[in-house]
Structure 1
Amino acid sequence: MTSTTAQYSAITDWNGTNGLPRFDAVRDEDFAGAFETAVAAHDAEIDAIADNAEAPSFANTIVALEVAGDALSRVSALFWNKTGAHTNPDIQALERNIAPKMSRHYSKIGMNEALFKRIDTLWEKRDELALTGEELRVLERHWKGFVRAGAKLAKDHQERLAAINEELAGLGAKFGQNVLADEKSWKLLLTEEDELTGIPDFLRDSMAGAAREHGDDGKFAVTLSRSIIEPFLTFSERRDLREQAFKAWVARGENGGETDNRETVKRTLELRDEKAKLLGYTNFAAYKLDNTMAKTPDAVNTLLMQVWEKAVERAGEEEAELATVISDEGKNHDVMPWDWRHYAEKLRAKKFSFSEAELKPYLQLEKIIEACFDVAQRLFGIRAVEMKNVTAYHPDVRTFEIRNEKGDIVAMFLGDFFARPSKRSGAWMSAFQSQHKLPLKNGTVGELPIIYNVCNFAKPSQGKPALLSLDDARTLFHEFGHALHGMLSNVTYPSVSGTSVSRDFVELPSQLYEHWLTVPEILEKYALHYETGAPMPKALLDKVLAAQTFNAGFNTVEFTSSALVDMAFHTRGAVDDPMAVQTEVLESLNMPKSIVMRHATPHFQHVFSGDGYSAGYYSYMWSEVLDADAFAAFEETGDAFNTDMARKLKDNIYSVGGSVDAEETYKTFRGKMPSPEAMLKKRGLVSGQA
């Protein structure tokens, strides 16, 4: 075996524990060669399918496509994990090169005339093929995918589309790297006690750890990691420092120089509009929404505006209350964006007699992880067993076997919980390997899902527990809900496995799972004080539950403004000045000057670091309409862990992936499609909600 072959095998032959990759054998310098070899192998497989002399059949065309490119999938899974969760300059340089190359590779497949002819033949006679429901969905997915990739376009238009996709891939990689660079390069070092006025001990510890990580031992660093910047804005009594930190936070991607994303956004929007029109759509939003539950931009905007009107009204009431708090302190300044979190925390403490600092000692990361696993066991009959001696892609990453009631391993789960400079911000779920039941060329039949969650919680000082905010705890439950969607998948075909569902349905399993965090019996069991082990006092628990809709106007305005700007960009097409469009949209909405978009355009990674949520940021709210209604199904039984309802939830939401139409499977679970009322009530935006 040559050294090159050995290096390739280390990336593609996953012979670690329970089929995990051998992370310790993967070297950054081997990725370029591995991609080259894997792409060539995939090309050969595609040619063999396209040039097959036999008449097209579901088996020799669709099933063959489903299992083709296994090596490339493995190389890609390891590489894209590195780019998001543990990058470095070498990986970033390679990412800028690989992203357009991979786009070119898949464009070539999507425009393979002979291959599409075989798929099109099967699609035209689909009613004669005696396909199962899942097989018909898989055939439809391949056929539509090829059409959306330009298979029906004239040759010159195909070539232009391929060039557009290639350039967009490079722009997406550049956008994300620029945001990460701005986040890494900024810190506010504090050394004097008066600069730390109001900062609670847990945040001091996190800031001290961040300073040490930057080589500034003995100091305290405010960074742009959400797990530090948000609590700093909440607790710091130094308004000047809050303003300084806030302005750096919202300026990511908009600082001039090499990391400025404004021209990247402009070019991205221009190319997306051209792509949509090439494919016969009015605009990019119409293209993206064509295969979603929402279907049209009008449907999306109708929901968003219905929520916006209630949210901005509630935010106005909240701002008036904050102004009173400021006045009561003898100050006379307006409520500005760097003030909101600070005075909202004081107002919450006044209205509900508790503060985030009082709550946080009861929310240990370790216990909330246990709570996630316990809820999954009670609902779905699975349990997590930690594997202590398994090497993952970073020393902080923890590995778990997921076992069913019989003790069989049904999935592997990796948890990567702490912020670090090599990791992009935010939280996400992804898969190294998706569940399916097809036989592979290596002789195995089917594959276990290997799922991972990435979060950015502040890492505590040595020997101290990581303490979470309530929002952090919700994030943990949210991402584990996504993980369950991948781990509980029970389908035959990889292309409809797990989270391979429409964009505005994919957030349902994750957002729904958040509800179980605040089920009283879960908080009573796992919200334990990190020093005493005592459970959260019932009086505090009651206050936490009573305050769940506090600050609802602010939170909803932050989100909905971002979603409306996203939709405006992708219904207007190419624009001369994206920032002018952002300003125009916000002014037309009468955006409160005291609140900013949750994701301003130059750092809106959901939308511009790739196109995953482009014209799709609304989907969190669309799914929230579903998740509020779905949890109400449990509430109506009087039991948050109702066995029959949990079985229906698993069978119709968490395990079917994209093998069934989203609307159809939701109706099977709930009996009907929901209205927005339950969501508005959950958010506290309807009359009578606190």
Structure 2
Amino acid sequence: MKKRLLAPLAIAIALAGCQSNDDNKNKIEESQQKTQQADHVNPLFSAFTTPHGMPPFDQIKKSDYLPAFEQSISENKAEIAAIANAMNEATFVNTIEAMEKSGDFLNRVSNVFYGLTGSMSDEEMRSIAKAVSPQLSALNDDINLNAKLFARVKAVYDKKDQLNLQVNQLTLLEKTYKGFVRGGANLSDADKVKLRQFNTQLSQLSLKFGENLLHETNSFEMVIDNKADLDGLPDDIIAAAAVTATDRGHDGKWVFTTHRPSKNPFLTYATNRKLRETLYKGYTMRGNNDDAFDNKKIAAETASLRYQKAQLLGYKTHAHFVLENATAKTPENVFGLLNQVWPAALARAKEESADMQKLANSKGAKIEIEAWDWWYYAEKIRKARYDIDAAETKPYFSLEGTLQGIFFTAEKLWGVTFKERDDLPKYHPDVRTFEVFDKDDSYVGIYMTDHYVRESKRGGAWMSSFRKQHRMYGEDVTPIIYNVLNYPRPVGDTPTLLTFDQASTLFHEFGHAIQGLLSNGYYRSQTGTALPRDYVEYPSQVMENWMTEPEVLANFAKHYKTGEVIPMALVDKIQASGKFNQGFGTTEYLGAALLDMSWHSLETAELQDAAVFEKKVLSEIGLIKEISPRYRTGYFSHIFSGGYSSGYYGYIWSNIYDADTWLAFKENGIFDEKTADLYRKHILEPGGSEDPAVMYRRFRGQDPKVQPLLDRRGLTTTK
């Protein structure tokens, strides 16, 4: 029901696996005994007294989590019971606002624990997540299915028009009421039992899916012992592979994995086609093998249970259930957008494939282009067509330089500045911590970064918070925001150098972070990135645009050896190549988005053969064999062990807002103060306090149009 409870549960589902109740109980008791024996004061049991309220990472033991969860869940139950059983008349303050304020202890524990399970995972942390997940699931059900509590919420909701509520209060009331209805409050007692069963089963399946994928990702390795097989690879990639080999017990060899910093460069540069195929298939077969870690049956059962749950709650499909809370509203609207973009994207992808085949033929390769050839030949064409390749740009995109470029951009736009602190608590030596100050030098919050790949991290890149900004207790609680990425570590004296896409990802994730930092809301559940899935990516996508602007590049894109600013001729090439390979990029993404929507638009509880179902969907949309969807079913963690089911389309939906917004900045000036202030006031600061469409119209003066998105991707004209 409340975001702060559902979010930890979703992360628990993503990062752990199934475990019996007896095992959970034993682990809790063992953890408590260890804590007591050590005479250790659990720092999670009280508010943090560190500077800026930072979590005291150095004082928190893993054995602290289970007792803290157990106690905080118990306290939250008591808080909810007190609200539900109150004898006085239900009001907005004593019911809706009281619920919003409940669970502070649980919120504190969850933010720390689930922040670390994504980046500091090990067997013990996963075991704790397994133990906690069913408890959080039960707590959510206890709240959603509490008849007395719902009666009080409904009493307030029924008289909302007479209460003179502010916009953010009305939003809170409506979301709270809707959360109960969507959580089963109107069901019969028998159906409530069924709903609990569905939730428990789905929780367990999601846990197992995530655990299987983590195993598949971390266990795959392609060991190379012949240096000739490294032909074509840049020196820094070879050096990183040697380090990986040593770390994995293969001294004197080179190891490549399915982690993107390893996989993508190999597919782009390695001349050995057979090894490209091996690595590509190693990546795309994760969770799709018929073995103990196969996720296909889990995905099919998940889709079936989600349909049954949606039907129980009165919705046609799971997609209808999910999209009710999105800006898209209905599956029909989602398919409407995707079907506008798909034909042009597919047509362009076919042109790109033909270009690759032509190049391969001209080189006498005597091959038919396959999926594992795409990255390799795309890079060849990029270099030939625009006289540019990633190896040429990487020396100008050091990690440190790009980070400083982000700070430069933020200061130019909103006047915020960043001051690094080395004396604040951190959960890993890789973490860097910055105090953030506004243009009037007032303190804003904390920004933490964790950039380097390690096996304790899940893949990808993300933003979250150890504490969200809010003012619901009468004082301004400042945010503690963090970005996590998976970049290769520096080797020797060479700093970490980023590809263009990696540098763009850093800007993207900072776009989320700046929304969390500049949040200016009253209720914690509405601040920062508390937005619909198909809108939350919008601010992060907008942020990417500044990276390619000459004024920004001139500030940070400097050669790591010579300090030379990136030549304008190279900048021109980068901008000219911006629409290159967009057929592939758009098509592989849309393929995954359509696969997601197809799984969750099913109108049957019948278990599907996942391999057959996936093949049928991709065949019907006409996806060419040279391209796989960005995520296949077996490793589509976004939708089967994360929070994106029926929502993966949201990136391109958000892209509509992004492209339209960037037009405003380009028309008025990329650092135009008035435009930047309007964007901050109506997009970044309010979070989820109001309907996003209304907030966007206040900023832009109109609804966004699809055409700028198509123009940007070069999908409105043929080659």
> So what's the TM-score if we normalise by structure 1?
0.97
Structure 1 vs Structure 2 CA RMSD? 1.6
Q: CA deviation at 1:582?
A: 1.0
Are 1:296 and 2:330 an aligned pair? yes
Write the distance in 1 (CA, Å) between the matches of 2:400 and 2:251: 27
Q: Is the 8 A contact 2:315 2:321 kept in 1?
A: yes
Write the distance in 1 (CA, Å) between the matches of 2:398 and 2:158: 56
The one-letter amino acid of 1:153's match is: L
In the comparison of the two structures, how many residue pairs are matched?
A: 683
The one of 627, 641, 644 equivalent to 1:609 is 641
Q: CA deviation at 1:561?
A: 0.5
- Paired position in structure 1 for 2:6: none
Q: Is the 8 A contact 1:503 1:619 kept in 2?
A: yes
- Paired position in structure 1 for 2:611: 579
Moved more, 212-221 or 643-652: 212-221
Write the distance in 1 (CA, Å) between the matches of 2:54 and 2:505: 26
Are 1:255 and 2:289 an aligned pair? yes
Are 1:449 and 2:483 an aligned pair? no
Change (3 A) 1:50 1:458: same
Are 1:388 and 2:418 an aligned pair? no
- Paired position in structure 2 for 1:115: 149
The one of 132, 139, 142 equivalent to 2:176 is 142
Are 1:622 and 2:656 an aligned pair? no
The one-letter amino acid of 2:175's match is: R
Q: Is the 8 A contact 2:242 2:254 kept in 1?
A: yes
Write the distance in 2 (CA, Å) between the matches of 1:470 and 1:545: 11
Q: CA deviation at 1:6?
A: 5.0
Write the distance in 1 (CA, Å) between the matches of 2:683 and 2:247: 42
- Paired position in structure 2 for 1:16: 50
Q: Secondary structure at the match of 1:430?
A: strand
Q: Secondary structure at the match of 2:471?
A: strand
Write the distance in 2 (CA, Å) between the matches of 1:216 and 1:16: 43
The one of 536, 544, 567 equivalent to 1:506 is 536
Write the distance in 1 (CA, Å) between the matches of 2:224 and 2:236: 16
Change (3 A) 1:578 1:11: farther
The one-letter amino acid of 1:659's match is: S
Report 1:422-461 matches (<5 A): 422-439=456-473, 445-461=475-491
The one-letter amino acid of 1:498's match is: G
Q: CA deviation at 1:683?
A: 1.1
Cα deviation per residue 1:373-421 (whole Å; 9 max; x = unaligned)? 1111111221111111223111111111111122222111111111111
Write the distance in 2 (CA, Å) between the matches of 1:462 and 1:597: 37
Change (3 A) 1:409 1:285: same
Are 1:414 and 2:448 an aligned pair? yes
Write the distance in 2 (CA, Å) between the matches of 1:473 and 1:463: 20
Moved more, 255-264 or 230-239: 255-264
Are 1:369 and 2:403 an aligned pair? yes
Q: Is the 8 A contact 1:95 1:173 kept in 2?
A: no
Moved more, 404-413 or 545-554: 404-413
The one of 195, 198, 201 equivalent to 1:167 is 201
Moved more, 161-170 or 660-669: 161-170
- Paired position in structure 1 for 2:356: 322
- Paired position in structure 1 for 2:595: 565
Q: Secondary structure at the match of 2:629?
A: coil
Q: Is the 8 A contact 2:222 2:256 kept in 1?
A: yes
Q: Secondary structure at the match of 1:684?
A: coil
Moved more, 63-72 or 458-467: 458-467
Cα deviation per residue 1:432-487 (whole Å; 9 max; x = unaligned)? 11111011xxxx73421111111111112143211111111111111110111111
Q: Is the 8 A contact 1:13 1:21 kept in 2?
A: no
Are 1:336 and 2:370 an aligned pair? yes
- Paired position in structure 1 for 2:510: 480
Moved more, 341-350 or 184-193: 184-193
Q: Is the 8 A contact 1:680 1:686 kept in 2?
A: yes
**Which structure 2 residue ranges, 5 or more long, are not aligned?**
1-32
- Paired position in structure 1 for 2:9: none
Report 1:48-447 matches (<5 A): 48-439=82-473, 445-447=475-477
Write the distance in 2 (CA, Å) between the matches of 1:510 and 1:11: 34
Write the distance in 2 (CA, Å) between the matches of 1:380 and 1:455: 24
Are 1:633 and 2:664 an aligned pair? yes
- Paired position in structure 2 for 1:597: 629
Q: Secondary structure at the match of 2:574?
A: helix
The one-letter amino acid of 1:310's match is: A
The one-letter amino acid of 1:15's match is: T
Write the distance in 1 (CA, Å) between the matches of 2:62 and 2:457: 16
Are 1:656 and 2:686 an aligned pair? yes
Q: Secondary structure at the match of 1:33?
A: helix
Write the distance in 2 (CA, Å) between the matches of 1:7 and 1:305: 58
Q: Is the 8 A contact 1:11 1:22 kept in 2?
A: no
Q: CA deviation at 1:525?
A: 1.4
Q: Is the 8 A contact 2:44 2:68 kept in 1?
A: no
Q: CA deviation at 1:515?
A: 0.6
The one of 526, 530, 540 equivalent to 2:560 is 530
Write the distance in 1 (CA, Å) between the matches of 2:564 and 2:60: 44
Q: CA deviation at 1:255?
A: 2.6
Moved more, 326-335 or 9-18: 9-18
Identity %: 39
Q: Secondary structure at the match of 1:257?
A: coil
Q: Is the 8 A contact 1:116 1:146 kept in 2?
A: yes
- Paired position in structure 1 for 2:29: none
Q: CA deviation at 1:11?
A: 6.0
Q: Secondary structure at the match of 1:288?
A: helix
The one-letter amino acid of 1:407's match is: D
Q: Secondary structure at the match of 1:399?
A: strand
Write the distance in 1 (CA, Å) between the matches of 2:252 and 2:408: 39
Cα deviation per residue 1:525-562 (whole Å; 9 max; x = unaligned)? 11111111111111111101100110000001100000
The one-letter amino acid of 1:209's match is: V
Cα deviation per residue 1:142-182 (whole Å; 9 max; x = unaligned)? 11111111111111111211221122122222212211111
- Paired position in structure 1 for 2:21: none
Q: Is the 8 A contact 1:11 1:26 kept in 2?
A: no
Q: CA deviation at 1:202?
A: 1.9
Q: Is the 8 A contact 1:205 1:460 kept in 2?
A: no
The one-letter amino acid of 1:167's match is: Q
Q: Secondary structure at the match of 2:157?
A: helix
